[in-house]
């Protein structure tokens, strides 16, 4: 109890120690919100503040709920991706206010931050409402309990109401997005629509990757259209009354229709609605068959080069040397979202944007961190095609701590441009390949620029610009940055957008008459720009010609059943090179589309139509210099908000109130612990469990307290975690007691503190290396009370650990994860202090590898992996053999070989493990909220040994084992189930008997016991 008292005395000092970092955060309050932000994100905070009243009015009416408390809204600007989240731990929403990189958010949205705000606020209103089985008790036991129904809710019901809301309550949500619509249209037209049960969870290997978003929007849209605008509110009330009985019951009670039948009616309705599109061309599949994701390629001298995420081989740059030949992996690498890669015309040089993190920024919560998107130069030489698939490509970092995406290399590889994020907007910049220095080319306030592409001679750039949901085509001169064209393109559909522009120079062969006129130079053909557009509600491929007179009106070149979001003409199929000089004939169009397996590539025929509209006039927006541009998030938020929207500008005082990230109580519940029989006899302990956290995630407090009224013995534990950024500090105290039938009571009190810190992170395309360290100090008091005497033992223990991890991206089929290298060591010292005599020093070190030597043998079963591991333990009190972490955890063989072997003491011990990992199948089956995602089998052999200065003596037995792993998901909760058995095999001449054990684990495996963070204590403790 003294330890618990001291803990609470020091707790306020620990929170105050974070003062300097906390004062970097500010807050401003309204009647409904508490906006939490940093000074550099003031424009974004003012934008959110301007939106707050209207967003609250819309969403509270939509969800029929107005919370009595202020909703915390945390704004993060140090990020490389636009996104947000809601969490009930504690209940608040977070907004990442970087400009969107892809067309999925913001392409046709007047204010993408408003759309994001609506989405996350609907989550808050939906999942914190105190109604139903968990909701009403939450008024007494804490707000976290109200969100417990999430466990039993299918994913479509959690995300569907938000996607529908963002589309119905603001213009340009995902329900109105043509890229989002393709995810539903493709499986409908292919008659491969996923089932109602599959709509309950996302599957990382199968399309659509955000299945719960797509299915959720379709379901809620169908419910609203069929049963009225209040149907989801009524459905949610029915579900909340008995959430553990599932959403099926709520649907049947609310609509009178069984959930699978309702889902099938929705699918039938979609089939009828889109049946007319079956008459359109389908195109010829050009990307690899099966699940995957493929970007629009670049024609090079070595073939078509693109970035894809192959089901078998994982993410990377791929090449196809001739049409219909297999795609070969050039460089295994991940890239930032939105096609953030580029390659030169030779196909030997590439630049990719890769998300990196800076964990060392103080005051930033560890859950969010500071993220950058930096550029890397890759060497795609010919030897890359034979390189080990899991070795990262040769690379050089171009930029450091920048937020760049959508890079574009000139065809000769000498010039590089990219889009740079500036708050919630962006600008076009030129990047020096050698030094990484940045020069602005096009800066315009309140604009989001995307996807630049060079012309064949490198003198022009084509890209898109978005101003409050009006997406236009820009043609920019390089290197002057002069805007030559700025067009809305479609006159008959002002809301239509253009996507992924590409230059194309048609092959020109002079006529015989022209060739005979030696005095006249040959005239170059006009330059074309090909782009996707959604003027007809679905994406089609268009072309405009760029000449001295400017752009010509859009000419539709290709339509597809599902959609064509970008493309360009190709030489005739079968040519050995994709370079323009390979042939004078252009017969096919390569374009990007979507299928039930994911984003794909197709080959189609041109069906050019004459332009049916005139080209709108040039835009009146003009580029401005850096000095005149206000590029902060939310700049001039109230001026030109969009098409007919007018709001008063909200301002924040020059000195807003500082925000202190203090603990918020979340949950307390009664607790009981009962035991009958055994060495401790019968016992009953009653008490309470409690939990608290803070909005920024920097403080977490959890604990429990129990009391045995018969024995009058208290017990309990308390753990406080402080996470200011790169470091994490934890204080724990624990008090336990044990009883036996001889009236002996053993009381144990522990007080421990530990700190873990990320010592280094090095990211490169295709690999990541992480070095982590931990230090800890603990005090243990053990009191053994007998009827005639009392014995007290006190010890102090210090722990020091280091861990190095190297890994890379994995393929979807890799059930056990990608190849990796893990090296770790942990030292534990009990000095000769207090009652410890003599001092004790122990250690455990490991080397763990995971290889795929048979990686070329693939399929649905995945690649066979070899996972050798080695451990070395030391102990000055002779317990090294007892510290060996056997895989099964069920044997403690401390004897060495020999018929007379007795339990030996060993200062040093070794354990070697040979393991084969066999993925059995990646699956996508579901039944009543339970889905299966994959299964695998592991076979292993272990041998321990005692090490002395003269020899290595193996232990008296070996261990063989096997375990079966199954990845399942319950709605949105992923679970890994492992069932295994191990057998101890005595060596010849040993007096050790055969033994076996069966084990079951929920979660990870003991194989990676040192990978946990924070580190565990030594197995002996």
Contact criterion met (CB below 8 Å) for 847 and 1008: no
Contacts 24+ apart (CB under 8 A), 382-389: 382/302, 382/348, 384/330, 384/331, 385/319, 385/328, 385/329, 385/330, 389/313, 389/314, 389/329, 389/332, 389/855
457, 491, 508 - which closes a domain: 508
E-state strands within 423-459 = 425-431, 438-442, 448-454
DSSP 9-26: HHHHHHHHTTHHHHTTEE
DSSP type of residue 907: S
- Of 916, 974, 909, the residue nearest 944 (C-alpha): 909
- Residue 777: partners with Cβ closer than 8 Å, 6 or more residues away: 752, 753, 754, 796, 797, 798, 799
Asked, for residue 435, whether it belongs to a domain, the answer is yes
Write down the pTM of the prediction: 0.90
128, 160, 182 - which closes a domain: 128
DSSP type of residue 905: P
**pLDDT of res. 2:** 57
Contact criterion met (CB below 8 Å) for 823 and 803: yes
CATH code for the domain of 73: 3.30.2010
pLDDT digits (tens, 9 = 90+) for 676-706: 655 556 778 999 999 999 999 899 999 999 9
DSSP type of residue 224: H
Contact criterion met (CB below 8 Å) for 702 and 336: no
What CA–CA distance (Å, rounded) separates 802 from 845? Answer: 9
Asked, for residue 1, whether it belongs to a domain, the answer is no
What CA–CA distance (Å, rounded) separates 408 from 463? Answer: 10
E-state strands within 618-695 = 657-658, 664-675, 683-693
pLDDT digits (tens, 9 = 90+) for 782-807: 999 888 888 999 999 999 999 999 99
Contacts 24+ apart (CB under 8 A), 9-15: 10/731, 11/720, 11/731, 14/720, 14/722, 14/729, 14/731, 15/662, 15/663, 15/699, 15/722
Q: Is 825 exposed, middle or buried (0-12, 13-18, 19+ CB in 10 A)?
A: middle
**pLDDT of res. 17:** 45
**pLDDT of res. 951:** 81
DSSP type of residue 281: -
What CA–CA distance (Å, rounded) separates 972 from 215? Answer: 14
What CA–CA distance (Å, rounded) separates 422 from 437? Answer: 16
Phi, psi (5° rounding) for residue 742? -100, 20
Contact criterion met (CB below 8 Å) for 729 and 14: yes
Q: What is the mean pLDDT of each run of 10 residues along the chain (1021 residues)?
A: 52 47 77 94 93 96 95 91 92 91 79 93 97 95 95 96 95 91 95 96 91 96 96 96 96 97 97 94 93 95 94 91 90 90 95 82 59 93 56 86 95 96 91 96 89 96 92 94 92 88 78 51 76 91 91 94 95 47 61 96 89 78 40 38 54 89 95 71 86 94 94 93 87 90 85 91 88 94 89 94 91 85 95 89 95 65 85 91 86 65 74 93 90 93 87 89 94 91 90 88 49 34 30
Asked, for residue 960, whether it belongs to a domain, the answer is yes
Q: In the structure encoding, which two tokens stand for residue 783, read together?
A: 């009191």
Asked, for residue 151, whether it belongs to a domain, the answer is no
Contacts 24+ apart (CB under 8 A), 576-582: 576/321, 576/322, 577/301, 577/302, 577/303, 578/299, 578/300, 578/301, 578/303, 578/304, 579/299, 579/300, 579/301, 579/345, 580/299, 580/456, 580/505, 580/507
Asked, for residue 776, whether it belongs to a domain, the answer is no
DSSP type of residue 582: G
Helix/strand/coil for 617: coil
| Count of domains forming the chain | 3
Asked, for residue 461, whether it belongs to a domain, the answer is yes
pLDDT digits (tens, 9 = 90+) for 434-465: 999 999 999 878 899 999 999 999 999 999 99
What CA–CA distance (Å, rounded) separates 72 from 846? Answer: 44
Asked, for residue 657, whether it belongs to a domain, the answer is no
DSSP type of residue 687: E
**pLDDT of res. 903:** 55
Q: In the structure encoding, which two tokens stand for residue 373, read together?
A: 């998107």
**pLDDT of res. 397:** 95
H/E element, 357: strand 349-358
Asked, for residue 554, whether it belongs to a domain, the answer is no
The packing angle between helices 211-227 and 178-189, to 10°, is 90
Strands 91-96 and 71-76: parallel
CB atoms within 10 A of CB 636: 14
CATH code for the domain of 313: 2.120.10.30
**pLDDT of res. 716:** 95
451, 482, 508 - which closes a domain: 508
The packing angle between helices 155-168 and 112-127, to 10°, is 140
Domain of residue 494 covers 294-508
**pLDDT of res. 764:** 87
């Amino acid at each position: 109890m003294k330890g618990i008292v001291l803990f609470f005395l020091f707790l306020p000092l620990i929170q105050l120690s974070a003062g300097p970092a906390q004062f970097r955060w500010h807050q401003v309050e309204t009647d409904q919100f508490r906006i939490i932000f940093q000074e550099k994100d003031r424009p974004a905070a003012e934008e959110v503040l301007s939106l707050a009243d209207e967003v609250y009015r819309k969403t509270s009416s939509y969800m029929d709920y107005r919370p009595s408390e202020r909703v915390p809204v945390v704004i993060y600007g140090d990020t490389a991706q636009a996104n947000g989240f809601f969490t009930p731990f504690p209940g608040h929403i977070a907004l990442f206010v970087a400009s969107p990189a892809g067309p999925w958010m913001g392409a046709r949205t007047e204010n993408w931050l408003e759309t994001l705000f609506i989405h996350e606020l609907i989550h808050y209103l939906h999942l914190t409402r105190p109604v139903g089985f968990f909701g009403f008790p939450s008024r007494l036991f804490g707000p976290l309990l109200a969100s417990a129904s999430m466990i039993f809710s299918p994913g479509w019901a959690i995300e569907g109401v938000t996607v529908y809301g963002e589309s119905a309550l603001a213009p340009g949500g995902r329900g109105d997005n043509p890229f989002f619509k393709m995810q539903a249209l493709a499986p409908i037209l292919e008659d491969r629509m996923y089932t109602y049960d599959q709509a309950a969870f996302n599957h990382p290997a199968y399309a659509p990757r955000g299945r719960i978003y797509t299915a959720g929007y379709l379901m809620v849209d169908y419910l609203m259209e069929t049963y009225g605008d209040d149907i989801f509110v009524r459905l949610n009330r029915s579900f909340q009354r008995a959430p553990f009985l599932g959403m099926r019951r709520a649907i049947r009670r609310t609509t009178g229709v069984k959930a699978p039948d309702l889902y099938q009616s929705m699918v039938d309705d979609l089939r009828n609605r889109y049946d007319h599109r079956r008459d359109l061309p389908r195109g010829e599949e050009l990307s690899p068959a099966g699940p995957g994701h493929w970007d629009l390629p670049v024609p090079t001298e070595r073939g078509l080069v693109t970035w894809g995420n192959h089901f078998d081989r994982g993410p990377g740059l791929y090449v196809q040397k001739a049409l219909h030949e297999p795609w070969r992996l050039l460089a295994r690498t991940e890239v930032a979202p939105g096609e953030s890669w580029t390659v030169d015309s030779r196909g030997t040089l590439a630049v990719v944007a890769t998300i990196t993190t800076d964990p060392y920024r103080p005051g930033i919560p560890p859950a969010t961190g500071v993220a950058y998107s930096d550029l890397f130069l890759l060497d795609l030489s010919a030897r890359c095609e034979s390189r080990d698939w899991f070795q990262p490509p040769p690379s050089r970092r171009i930029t450091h701590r920048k937020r760049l995406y959508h890079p574009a290399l000139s065809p000769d590889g000498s010039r590089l441009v990219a889009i740079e994020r500036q708050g919630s907007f962006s600008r076009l910049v030129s990047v020096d390949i050698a030094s990484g220095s940045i020069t602005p080319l096009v800066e315009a306030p309140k604009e989001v620029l995307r996807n630049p592409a060079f012309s064949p001679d490198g003198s022009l750039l084509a890209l898109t610009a978005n101003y409050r949901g009006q997406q236009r085509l820009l043609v920019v001169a390089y290197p002057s940055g002069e805007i030559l064209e700025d067009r809305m393109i479609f006159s008959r559909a002002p809301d239509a957008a253009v996507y992924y522009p590409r230059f194309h120079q048609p092959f020109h062969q002079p006529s015989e008459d022209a060739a005979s006129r030696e005095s006249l130079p040959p005239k170059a053909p006009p330059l074309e720009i090909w782009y996707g557009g959604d003027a007809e509600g679905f994406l089609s491929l268009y072309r405009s010609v760029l000449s001295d007179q400017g752009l010509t009106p859009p000419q539709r070149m290709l339509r597809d059943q599902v959609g064509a979001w970008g493309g360009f003409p190709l030489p005739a199929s079968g040519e050995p090179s994709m370079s323009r000089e390979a042939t004078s004939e252009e017969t096919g169009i390569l374009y990007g589309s979507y299928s039930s397996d994911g984003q794909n590539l197709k080959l189609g025929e041109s069906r050019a139509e004459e332009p049916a509209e005139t080209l709108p006039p040039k835009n009146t927006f003009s580029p401005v210099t850096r000095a005149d541009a206000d590029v902060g998030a939310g700049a001039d938020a109230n001026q030109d908000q969009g098409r007919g929207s007018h709001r008063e500008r909200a301002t924040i005082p020059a000195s807003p109130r500082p925000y202190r990230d203090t603990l918020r109580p979340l949950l307390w519940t009664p607790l009981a612990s009962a035991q009958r029989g055994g060495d401790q006899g019968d016992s009953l302990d009653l008490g309470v469990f409690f939990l608290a956290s803070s909005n920024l995630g920097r403080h977490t407090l959890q604990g429990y307290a129990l009391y045995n009224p018969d024995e009058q013995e208290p017990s309990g534990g308390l753990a406080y975690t402080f996470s200011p950024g790169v470091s994490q500090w934890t204080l724990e105290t624990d008090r336990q007691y044990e009883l036996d039938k001889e009236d002996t009571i053993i009381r144990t009190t522990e007080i421990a503190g530990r700190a873990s810190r990320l010592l280094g992170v090095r990211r490169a395309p295709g690999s990541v290396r992480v070095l982590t360290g931990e230090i800890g100090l603990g005090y243990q008091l053990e009191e053994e009370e007998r009827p005639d005497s009392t014995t007290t033992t006190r010890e102090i223990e210090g722990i020091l650990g280091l861990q190095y991890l190297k890994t890379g991206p994995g393929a979807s089929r890799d059930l056990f994860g990608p190849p990796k290298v893990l090296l770790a060591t942990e030292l534990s010292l009990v000095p000769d202090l207090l009652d410890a005599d003599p001092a004790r020093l122990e250690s455990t070190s490991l080397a763990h590898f995971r290889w795929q030597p048979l990686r070329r043998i693939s399929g649905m079963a995945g690649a066979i992996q070899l996972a050798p591991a080695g451990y070395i333990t030391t102990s000055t009190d002779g317990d090294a053999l007892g510290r060996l972490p056997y895989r099964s955890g069920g044997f403690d063989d401390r004897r060495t070989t020999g018929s007379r072997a007795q339990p030996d003491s060993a200062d040093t011990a070794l354990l070697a493990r040979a393991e084969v990992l066999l993925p059995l199948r990646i699956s996508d089956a579901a039944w009543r909220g339970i889905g299966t995602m994959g299964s695998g089998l592991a076979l292993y052999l272990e041998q321990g040994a005692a090490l002395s200065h003269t020899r290595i003596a193996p232990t008296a037995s070996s261990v063989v084992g096997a375990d079966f792993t199954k990845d399942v998901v319950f709605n949105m909760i992923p679970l890994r189930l492992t069932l295994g058995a191990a057998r101890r095999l005595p060596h010849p001449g040993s007096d050790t008997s055969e033994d076996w054990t069966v084990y079951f684990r929920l979660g990870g495996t003991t194989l990676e016991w040192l990978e946990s963070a924070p580190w565990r204590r030594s197995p002996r403790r």
